[in-house]
Amino acid sequence: MHYYLFIALQAFCIYHIYKNQKSYYWFFIIFFIPLVGAIIYLITHVFTSGDVNKIQNELTSIVNPTKKIKDFEKKIQFSDTYASRVDLADAYFEIGAYQNAISNYEKTLEDEVQNSVYSYQQLILSYFQLKDFDNVLRYVEKIKGKPEFKGSKQQFCYGLALREKGELDLAEIQLKAIDRPYSNYSERLQLAKFYWSQK
Distance CA 84, CA 145 (A): 27
**Average pLDDT across the chain, whole number:** 80
Long-range contacts of 120-126 (CB under 8 A, 24+ apart): 121/148, 121/152, 121/154, 122/89, 122/90, 122/93, 124/154, 124/157, 124/158, 125/93, 125/153, 125/154, 125/157, 126/93, 126/98, 126/101, 126/102
The pLDDT of residue 59 is above 70: no
Burial of 142 (0-12, 13-18, 19+ CB in 10 A): middle
Which of 36-50, 51-65, 78-92, 124-138 ranks highest by mean pLDDT? 124-138
**How far is it, in rounded angstroms, from Cα 25 to Cα 17?**
10
Q: Are 11 and 40 in contact (CB under 8 A)?
A: no
pLDDT surpasses 60 at 170: yes
Residue 120 CB coordination number (10 Å) = 23
Q: pLDDT tier at 60 (50, 70, 90 boundaries)?
A: low
Q: What is the C-alpha separation between 194 and 199, in angstroms, rounded?
A: 9
Q: Which pLDDT does position 63 carry in this prediction?
A: 59
CA distance linking residue 140 with residue 157, whole number of Å:
9
pLDDT value at 115 more than 80: no
- pLDDT over 70 at 91, yes or no: yes
The answer to whether 104 and 85 are in contact (CB under 8 A) is: yes
What distance in Å separates the CA atoms of residue 127 and residue 121, rounded to the nearest whole number?
10
**Stronger pLDDT, 102 or 68, i.e. the higher one:** 102
How does pLDDT run across 120-143, given as a tens digit for each residue?
A: 999 999 999 999 999 999 999 999
At 79, the pLDDT band (50, 70, 90 cuts) reads confident
Residue 139: the pLDDT is 93
Report the alpha-carbon distance of residue 123 to residue 17 in Å, rounded. Answer: 47
The pLDDT value given to residue 137:
92
pLDDT category at 76 given cuts 50, 70, 90 is confident
The yes-or-no verdict on residue 68 having pLDDT over 70 is yes
Nearest residue to 137 (alpha-carbon basis) of 110, 164, 175, 108: 164
Quote the pTM value: 0.64
Contact 123, 93 (CB under 8 A): no
Q: How far apart are CA 126 and CA 95, in angstroms?
A: 12
Residue 180 has pLDDT above 70, yes or no: no
Q: What is the pLDDT of residue 199?
A: 57
